[in-house]
Structure formats: C-alpha cells, structure tokens
C-alpha cells in the first residue's frame, strides 16, 4: 500500500514555478497601473461596512479550492475599488503615509524568504539588516548609534517597549519577577496632549489605565514643566514611586513638541527614565533647522519612532531605540531550554526575541532598510522638509482666505476652520454652531472622498486638521482643499439656514 501522503503528494497551495512567474507578473502589472491611475480617482469611496460586506458575501469558507490567478485578479479589483488610499495626493488624515514603492516590492521579497527574525540562527541576513536599519534610524535623528533597538508593529508597540523597559530598569529585579503588588504606586507622567497609548501601556504593565499623571499643557499644547515638577514632588511626598516621564515629539493632534531638554533635566533631577514618543515627529529631528526642543530627544533613555509614518514604510513598521541596549535584554530576555541560540560559529549573535515582546518576528526591516538607501539621508531630509513646507503653505493659504480661520501650525500639521460670512459676534451659541458646522464639513469631505482630512479639538474649538506626511502632495492639492472646504462650508451653512427658516415657518 502506498503511504498517504505519497511522494507525489498533492499540495493544494502549491504553484508551479512557471505559474507563479506568470501570475506574479500580471499582479505587478496591475499594481503599476493602479499606482499610476489612483491619483485621478477619489481618496476613498466612503462606503459603509454593509456595502463592503455585501461584496464579500456571507457564504461559509468554500470546501474546495480556487484558482490563484482568478483570486488575485478579483481581489486586486476589490482592493483597488473599495479602499481608502493613503497614497492619494489629497489624503491628509490622522498620521498615515503613502507606501514607498520600493517598500511594496520589499515586502514581496521579504515574504519570499520568510525569515523568522526572532533569532539569528533562523534569519542570519535579516537580523543583521535589522540591526543596521536601527543604527541608521538612530543616526538620522541624532540618537547615539551605540543604542539598542527593535522593530515592532508601530508606534504603540514601540512606546510599550520603552515603557516596560523603564519599569524594569527603575523597578529592578523584584518588580520584574514579582510584579507591582506590595510596592508603592508606580507613577508615569506625560502631557495632557500625549497619545492614547499611555492608557493601554499603563493598564498592560500593571499601573491601571487611568493612573497616568497627565500634566497640563500651555497654549501651544506643550507640557508645563513646572507643573510636572510639582506633581512629581507631591507624589514623592505621598510615598509613591515616580519612574518615567514621557515627552511628546510631535503630538498627534497638533504636532506640538514638548521642551525635551527641560524634560531630560527633570529626569536627571529625580532619577527617572526619560522616554520620548517621537512616533510622528521624531524623524523631523533630521532636518537642519529642527528646533533645540526636538533635538533634545538625543538625551532620552528611549525613543519611539514610526517608520510607517515619515520613513514611508508600508504598514507595519515601528521602532524603539534604547540608549543602553543591556536594558532591553534585562527586560525581555529569558532562556527556556528549548531555545539554544547563544553561539553561532563561536560568536554571540543578536537574537531579537531578547529585545522585545514578540517571539516569531517578520522581516519588516527589509522595506525600511531599502527605502533608507533608495532615498538616502539627503532624500529623506528633502521629503520631510517639503512636507513641513507644504503644511506651512497651507497655513498661509488659510490666513489669506476670508472665510477660513487658522488654528495651529507645527511640523507638518495645520489646523483651521470654516467661518461663514455674516455670522453674529462671539457668543457661546456661535461657537457651538461653528463646531457643528465644521464637524459636518469633515463628515461630508470624508464621505465624498475628493480630499481627506481629520479633526483636532483645541481649546474647545472643532478644527479641520491636515497632516501632510505625503510625498505625493503638491501645492495645487492644497488649493483644492481650500476651495473644497469653502464650497462644503457654504453648502452646509445655507442648508442649516434653510432648515432654521423652515422650522420657524
Ligand atoms: C501614530 C502615533 C502613535 C501610535 O502609533 P501607531 O503606529 O499608530 O501604533 C503614538 N504616538 C504618536 C505621537 C503618534 O503620532
């Protein structure tokens, strides 16, 4: 009787090399066409979930297989027609960037080798490429190249790694082995404008989601350093254990930058870990005219950076840098007897499993490494500088416009709002109306898909917010945004007026 499976094993997932070549070429052709034509269409079709679900159907997983060729054809069409395109020249929502074309190809190449970058022995080249990528990112932003680091899925994870490393470094062995129970309350500090990752980190790492000390910000959304000092002193007097200060280098709302050198000073004064969330703005430290406040990230114990933002890596790629690499090992390294990875050819290899929370790890370094070399340092300085200049140009256009009011301008984020002609003077109901009107403008814009911004709320004002992390954007796209906002504002204001008249009549 022949064994089951036999040597002529039938493998439903297999593709013959010549089939793979043909289908792959077809796919590359379709992607190239998509990249060429996508800017002419909408940013997003703005469809609700039910529409998308109807396209996918509700059937069970088919029992039999299907042709790879057909599947890739139909799914290309599905994605190209029903996605939001963050590579569109008029996409400026949240902080999400277009993918570097070389990064698209790099992901394809990386998947083909399928390195498991958890251990050197499983990923010799991938591990060394990741090591070099991390070093280059550190150099680019002026962080000591002797640092350690690890690539993770994004800014949240990079910040989590920094947070837990801080807890291990400042709490020592007892906290690491036994947890926080029985210790004084561990305290983390950040500005009120910090990203929401702090809540998740504080929950995940045992402090409680609502226990972060959020310090007030000034008019520019920057942390009030004296208020921070006072809070730390008060907590120390109460017997708590302050251990980390998080500085923000480019807040997600307005791009504000905390005075990082002053935060470094506070951390030295109280012996605290200084972590910088530079997920968005950290990379702008490469600009020749970067502010001293931003450049102060070089003094941090750890920094979170998002290559899938200003390095234009396709999602996902985050990166954490830690000044003292040993601290990463002390936080994440364990030695179970089923992993024997400590010696390769008489050398001690770097095993990234020892530097972060992940075990098996993908080869996400390749897309970052290749993009860094494709553009080079000067190329990145130009692209990031151009994004900032475009955001400043948008601010200027807003200032000049009779019905637009500027809000804030930091890094590549510009905020503004629409104010209709002939609106009555400053009253609470006027502000309520403007908040509602601008929210409606945003909703309409996002649904219609001609351009895409998101929002910020500053001092109670609802603002439209354009974050330009987009190498496809040109000045003409900003003019289009101004005209679009004015048109939507007028239409919605007129409709509101008519409704008011109707309800009166
Ligand atoms: C984007 C961002 C994050 C979260 O990063 P993800 O990559 O979305 O996980 C955290 N902090 C700041 C300041 C950010 O801009």
* Structural domain contains residue 279: yes
pLDDT at 8: 83
Check if 123 has its Cβ closer than 6 Å to any atom of ligand 1: no
Average pLDDT, the chain: 95
Q: How far apart are CA 24 and CA 21, in angstroms?
A: 5
pLDDT at 174: 87
Distance 319 CA to ligand 1 centre (A): 11
Contacts for 11-20 with beta carbons within 8 Å, 24 or more apart?
12/65, 15/68, 19/68, 19/69
Structural domain including 176 reads 116-363
- Looking at the 3D structure of the chain, how many domains does it have? 2
Are 412 and 283 contained in the same domain? no
Are 330 and 407 contained in the same domain? no
Higher pLDDT: 427 or 150? It is 150
Are 231 and 356 contained in the same domain? yes
Which ligand 1 atom is at minimum distance from the Cα of 280? 15
Distance 231 CA to ligand 1 centre (A): 26
For the ranges 76-90, 234-248, 489-503, the lowest mean pLDDT is seen at 489-503
* Structural domain contains residue 24: no
Residue 42 has pLDDT above 90, yes or no: yes
Distance 449 CA to ligand 1 centre (A): 24
For the ranges 205-214, 259-268, 384-393, 461-470, the lowest mean pLDDT is seen at 205-214
Which ligand 1 atom is at minimum distance from the Cα of 154? 7
pLDDT in tens, 442-487: 999 999 999 999 999 999 999 999 999 999 999 999 999 999 999 9
**% of the chain exceeding 70 in pLDDT:** 97
Residue 505 has pLDDT above 50, yes or no: no
Q: Report DSSP letters for 53-122, one per residue.
A: HHHH-SPPPPSS---HHHHHHHHHHHHHHHS--TTSTTB-STT--PPPHHHHHHHHHHHHHT--TTSGGG
**Buried-state track 158-176, b at ≥16 Cβ within 10 A, e below 16:** bbbbbbbbbbbbbbeeebe
* Structural domain contains residue 371: no
**% of the chain exceeding 90 in pLDDT:** 90
Pick from 323, 341, 363: which residue ends a domain?
363
Give the residue whose CA is nearest to atom 10 of ligand 1: 155
Are 352 and 242 contained in the same domain? yes
Probe residue for ligand 1, chosen from 93, 152, 155 as the CB with the greatest number of ligand atoms within 8 Å = 155
Confidence bin at 374 (pLDDT 50/70/90): very high
Are 423 and 479 contained in the same domain? yes
Give the residue whose CA is nearest to atom 6 of ligand 1: 155
Q: What is the mean pLDDT of residues 324-343?
A: 86
Are 321 and 419 contained in the same domain? no
Give the residue whose CA is nearest to atom 4 of ligand 1: 155
Check if 85 has its Cβ closer than 6 Å to any atom of ligand 1: no
Distance 157 CA to ligand 1 centre (A): 9
Residue 502 has pLDDT above 70, yes or no: no
* Structural domain contains residue 307: yes
Tokens 């007892």 locate to 174
pLDDT in tens, 402-420: 999 999 999 999 999 999 9
Which ligand 1 atom is at minimum distance from the Cα of 306? 7
Residue 504 has pLDDT above 60, yes or no: no
Check if 258 has its Cβ closer than 6 Å to any atom of ligand 1: no
Residue 2 has pLDDT above 70, yes or no: no
* Structural domain contains residue 86: no
For the ranges 33-37, 166-170, 179-183, 306-310, the lowest mean pLDDT is seen at 179-183
Residue 147 has pLDDT above 60, yes or no: yes
Which ligand 1 atom is at minimum distance from the Cα of 159? 10
CATH, residue 341: 3.40.640.10
pLDDT at 392: 98
Residue 349 has pLDDT above 70, yes or no: yes
First to last CA, the chain: 90
Check if 306 has its Cβ closer than 6 Å to any atom of ligand 1: yes
pTM over cut 0.85: yes
Residue 386 has pLDDT above 70, yes or no: yes
């Amino acid at each position: 009787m022949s064994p089951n499976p036999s040597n002529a094993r039938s493998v439903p997932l297999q593709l013959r090399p010549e089939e793979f070549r043909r289908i792959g070429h077809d796919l590359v052709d379709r992607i190239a066409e998509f990249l060429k034509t996508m800017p002419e269409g909408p940013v997003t079709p703005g469809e609700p979930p039910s529409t998308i679900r109807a396209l996918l159907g509700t059937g069970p997983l088919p029992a039999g297989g299907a042709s790879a060729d057909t599947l890739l054809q139909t799914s290309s069409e599905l994605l190209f027609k029903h996605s939001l395109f963050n590579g569109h020249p008029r996409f400026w929502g949240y902080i999400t960037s277009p993918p570097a074309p070389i990064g698209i190809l790099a992901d394809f190449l990386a998947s083909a080798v399928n390195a498991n970058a958890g251990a050197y022995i499983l990923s010799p080249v991938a591990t060394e490429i990741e090591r070099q990528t991390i070093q280059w990112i550190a150099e680019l932003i002026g962080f000591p190249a002797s640092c350690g680091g690890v690539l993770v899925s994004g800014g949240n994870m990079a910040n989590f790694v920094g947070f837990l490393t801080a807890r291990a470094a400042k709490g020592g062995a007892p906290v690491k082995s036994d947890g926080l129970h029985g210790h004084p309350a561990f305290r983390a500090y950040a500005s009120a404008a910090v990203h929401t990752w702090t809540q998740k980190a504080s929950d995940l790492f045992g402090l409680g989601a609502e226990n972060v000390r959020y310090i007030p910000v000034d008019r520019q959304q920057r942390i009030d350093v004296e208020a921070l000092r006072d809070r730390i002193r008060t907590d120390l007097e109460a017997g708590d254990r302050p251990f980390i200060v998080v500085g923000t280098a480019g807040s997600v709302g307005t791009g504000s930058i905390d005075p990082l050198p002053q935060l470094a000073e506070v951390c030295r004064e109280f012996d605290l870990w200084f972590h910088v969330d530079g997920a968005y703005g950290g990379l702008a430290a490469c600009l020749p005219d970067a502010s001293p406040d931003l450049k102060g990230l070089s003094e941090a114990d750890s920094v979170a950076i998002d290559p899938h933002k200003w390095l234009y890596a396709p999602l996902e790629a985050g990166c954490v840098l830690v000044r003292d690499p040993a601290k990463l090992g002390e936080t994440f390294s364990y030695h179970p007897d089923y992993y024997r990875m400590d010696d390769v050819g008489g050398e001690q290899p770097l095993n990234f499993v020892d530097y972060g929370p992940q075990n098996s790890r993908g080869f996400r370094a390749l897309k970052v490494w290749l993009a860094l070399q494709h553009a080079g340092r000067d190329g990145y300085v130009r692209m990031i500088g151009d994004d900032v200049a475009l955001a400043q140009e948008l601010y200027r256009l807003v200032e000049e416009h009779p019905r637009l009011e500027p809000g804030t301008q930091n890094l590549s984020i510009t905020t503004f709002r629409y104010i209709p002609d002939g609106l009555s003077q400053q009253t609470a109901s006027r502000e309520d109306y403007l908040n509602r009107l601008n929210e409606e403008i945003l909703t309409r814009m996002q649904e219609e898909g001609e351009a895409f911004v998101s929002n910020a709320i500053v001092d109670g004002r609802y603002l439209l917010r354009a974050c330009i992390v987009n190498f496809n954007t040109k000045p003409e796209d900003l003019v289009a945004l101004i005209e679009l906002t004015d048109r939507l504002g007028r239409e919605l204001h007129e409709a509101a007026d008519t409704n008011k008249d109707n309800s009166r009549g």
